[in-house]
Chain A
């Protein structure tokens, strides 16, 4: 059996002869045919419609579509006036773009080690604050929730805004309050492998601040207040209206996608708890709706397990094998091995299994059996 990590060919299947009804992709194609005729390609009506719906999902006043999750983070920081000489605190265990977005403003990322559930260790944040700290950027890595209340408390105490990297956190929440609604801004990615995905790069900024929303709308569109007048020097970072058409069709599925992933994750959790000599399933918090953008656990003999799974057709992956602070691009920041023990532990032991919404029961079972087989050897 082959269990793919990517579900795109299942999610975006075109109908074949014999299909009784239109596939989702067929429906999107019908929408796109109409859309292309309108020529409404740049900051168009369909984008506004998607932004409104997305703001509603997250529970904020404004949602601003931009080119990518990375740009969402960069523009959020720039809108807060963060740049050269400033510092932004973030988690050492995340995708490179989190720190890349900070570096793109001219500020330096300041890394804080991770806790046991793949999010920033809030007990270490205060120590990392200096007079140059201008923001704290917690990451909803894997779709798990950072301790947002503790972070907001620290932010309030020091007067530092929280800029959420909720790129992986679509529809994740804490006690029903959604990722992207806690901080001054939230940033989302609609990259094809995200839970709400478009057919290209895409991103969104969420905020309830009118002032920031206005500024961000200027910044994403060259700073233009109208066709001819420029208020501020800006950027070109717009979510294509084309992709908003795609997103609008997928939008109503977001909650059921999360639920399907949670169901798969629960099955994997139950099986892996039995293998607790070999597998450490992170603690699951009942208050948190983890969206399982990634289903990630810590395991013994990771590299061998990874190879075994891949050889058996289980498309397991590692997100990511090298601690971010030790990447060559971070060399100017002066970190060294030993600075982030838990991140180092994770990078050596984590593995991600497919848990996406298109898996069938037999495939989930096959993942479990493959892992069991490996550890029974």
Chain B
């Protein structure tokens, strides 16, 4: 029996159902299902929330990244640098443009290592996609400095990082463009696919506005080839309801993270919290020894956990033609064997959190002393 689910969309939506249905009903006064008023309202709200001049709703977080790359003219023959431990979409969007994904290893904090960037830059490099994995901002200051030096665009993969902050600025406002996913499993989640792009770049904004709408300049004229990638009006209406709760939900996730850190910091490696940042805790990822046994133990105790992600992108079958091999990114590969995501969703509650923490404590300290991790607190 599941005592602690990894995520609980049912409870979230049972609470919001009434408000969501009222918001959807309002659309029927206008029936503007495609790029309707609610989309514009959501775009304005996200731009204001992130502190950018513009925001554009698209079909998914994947499409958000893809459209930014296309709008910057990136394609065949170009290279784009990203991290190998992300969800694979961070890299597939690069391939989808015809460009080559170039991976750079991560740091212990699971984000791209800025010190390794420059050796990966070639004359074909056009952009860097740093990933704010787990909702922890990548170390953007050195990344931006290197990008400026080499004339590269920086497209933030903020798919997991809405509401995170770095030096007082929100993710999505740190690079040339920010890309958010609004997938149902994200903190700010639609009831279907959705994505949004944030930027201060007027040219980028104008280009993507056309690209997402089949290249149409107006009803009858197309001056560029485009795509069909629009955030649904209905999903925007749902998101406008949910956005009001985002800060509350994020605060709850942060307090859940604090709880886990306080209980587990001496036992497993917990995410480090640094003074210059506020993490969003889309996921709460610990790094452990004997992960397989721990997962079994947790499952036996009714606790769901996940691994984000067990196979690094460069070792996926689909990436074979990129020519990477095991051993190329040692920090990433080591982490892939040790990471484990604990339930962190808003509304989880202290009772369930205690079950999670106690299970981990029992596993390492009480049940079997031989399982004591070799890892010690950083």
Q: State the A residues within 8 Å of B (CB).
A: 6, 8-9, 12-14, 25, 29, 32-33, 36-39, 41-42, 67-71, 74, 84, 96-97, 99-100, 103-104, 106, 191-192, 199-201, 222-224, 228-238, 240-243, 318, 320-322, 327-329
Closest 5 CB pairs of A and B: A39-B9, A240-B192, A200-B232, A8-B31, A70-B228
Is B24 an interface residue when CB atoms closer than 8 A count as contact?
Answer: yes
Do the beta carbons of A42 and B193 come within 8 Å of each other? yes
Taking A25-B28, A322-B221 as given, write out 11 further A-B residue pairs in contact, using a Cβ cutoff of 8 Å, ordered by the A residue number.
A9-B28, A9-B31, A37-B14, A70-B227, A97-B214, A192-B33, A199-B234, A230-B319, A243-B192, A328-B223, A329-B223
Q: Please report which residues of chain B, range 1-55, place their CB below 8 angstroms from some CB of chain A when the two chains form the complex.
A: 9-10, 12-14, 17, 20-21, 24-25, 27-28, 31, 33-34
Q: A74 vs B17: C-alpha distance in the bound complex, in angstroms? A: 35
- Which residues of chain A come closer than 8 Å to B88, judged between CB atoms? 222-224, 230, 233
Name the contact of B17 in the complex, choosing from A9, A33, A68, A191 (C-beta under 8 A): A33
Selected A-B contacts with CB under 8 Å, 23 pairs: A32-B24, A39-B184, A42-B192, A67-B60, A67-B229, A96-B222, A100-B225, A100-B227, A104-B225, A192-B34, A200-B34, A229-B317, A233-B88, A234-B318, A235-B96, A236-B62, A236-B89, A237-B59, A318-B220, A322-B221, A327-B221, A327-B223, A329-B215
Is B148 an interface residue when CB atoms closer than 8 A count as contact?
Answer: no
**Chain A interface, >50% SS class:** loop
Is B198 an interface residue when CB atoms closer than 8 A count as contact?
Answer: no
Do the beta carbons of B191 and A242 come within 8 Å of each other? yes
Do the beta carbons of A12 and B214 come within 8 Å of each other? no
Do the beta carbons of A100 and B226 come within 8 Å of each other? yes
- Which residues of chain A come closer than 8 Å to B318, judged between CB atoms? 223, 230-234
Name the contact of A103 in the complex, choosing from B60, B63, B92, B225 (C-beta under 8 A): B225
- Which residues of chain A come closer than 8 Å to B223, judged between CB atoms? 327-329
Do the beta carbons of B234 and A329 come within 8 Å of each other? no
- Which residues of chain A come closer than 8 Å to B63, judged between CB atoms? 236
- Which residues of chain B come closer than 8 Å to A223, judged between CB atoms? 88, 92, 318
Do the beta carbons of A67 and B62 come within 8 Å of each other? no
Range of interface residues on B (Cβ < 8 Å): 35 or more
Q: A57 vs B233: C-alpha distance in the bound complex, in angstroms? A: 28
Q: A174 vs B164: C-alpha distance in the bound complex, in angstroms? A: 56
Do the beta carbons of A97 and B25 come within 8 Å of each other? no
Do the beta carbons of B228 and A201 come within 8 Å of each other? yes
- Which residues of chain B come closer than 8 Å to A69, judged between CB atoms? 228
Q: State the B residues within 8 Å of A (CB).
A: 9-10, 12-14, 17, 20-21, 24-25, 27-28, 31, 33-34, 59-63, 76, 88-89, 91-92, 95-96, 98, 183-184, 190-193, 214-216, 220-230, 232-235, 307, 309-311, 313, 316-319
Do the beta carbons of A37 and B192 come within 8 Å of each other? no
Distance in Å from the Cβ of A26 to the closest Cβ of chain B?
10
- Which residues of chain B come closer than 8 Å to A9, judged between CB atoms? 28, 31
Do the beta carbons of B309 and A222 come within 8 Å of each other? no
Q: A293 vs B362: C-alpha distance in the bound complex, in angstroms? A: 65
Distance in Å from the Cβ of A377 to the closest Cβ of chain B?
27
Q: A276 vs B190: C-alpha distance in the bound complex, in angstroms? A: 52
CB-CB under 8 A for A329 and B62, given A41-B9, A70-B214: no
CB-CB under 8 A for A29 and B21, given A200-B233, A320-B220: yes
Do the beta carbons of A201 and B34 come within 8 Å of each other? yes
Distance in Å from the Cβ of A331 to the closest Cβ of chain B?
9
Do the beta carbons of A222 and B193 come within 8 Å of each other? no
Distance in Å from the Cβ of A12 to the closest Cβ of chain B?
6
Q: A68 vs B34: C-alpha distance in the bound complex, in angstroms? A: 12
Q: A106 vs B97: C-alpha distance in the bound complex, in angstroms? A: 9
Distance in Å from the Cβ of B62 to the closest Cβ of chain A?
4
CB-CB under 8 A for A329 and B25, given A36-B20, A201-B228, A201-B232: no
CB-CB under 8 A for A37 and B227, given A96-B214, A192-B34: no
- Which residues of chain B come closer than 8 Å to A241, judged between CB atoms? 192
Name the contact of B235 in the complex, choosing from A200, A233, A322 (C-beta under 8 A): A200
Do the beta carbons of A33 and B21 come within 8 Å of each other? yes
Closest to B20 in A: A36
Q: A229 vs B226: C-alpha distance in the bound complex, in angstroms? A: 30
Do the beta carbons of A329 and B59 come within 8 Å of each other? no
Do the beta carbons of B234 and A242 come within 8 Å of each other? yes
Distance in Å from the Cβ of A77 to the closest Cβ of chain B?
14
- Which residues of chain B come closer than 8 Å to A84, judged between CB atoms? 76, 98
Do the beta carbons of B28 and A329 come within 8 Å of each other? no
Distance in Å from the Cβ of A94 to the closest Cβ of chain B?
12
CB-CB under 8 A for A38 and B76, given A8-B33, A33-B21: no
Name the contact of A321 in the complex, choosing from B215, B220, B226 (C-beta under 8 A): B220
Do the beta carbons of B34 and A96 come within 8 Å of each other? no
Q: A97 vs B318: C-alpha distance in the bound complex, in angstroms? A: 29
CB-CB under 8 A for A36 and B95, given A192-B31, A327-B221: no
- Which residues of chain A come closer than 8 Å to B220, judged between CB atoms? 318, 320-322
Closest to B61 in A: A236
Q: A327 vs B219: C-alpha distance in the bound complex, in angstroms? A: 12
CB-CB under 8 A for A199 and B13, given A223-B92, A233-B318, A243-B192: no
Distance in Å from the Cβ of A245 to the closest Cβ of chain B?
10
Distance in Å from the Cβ of B23 to the closest Cβ of chain A?
12
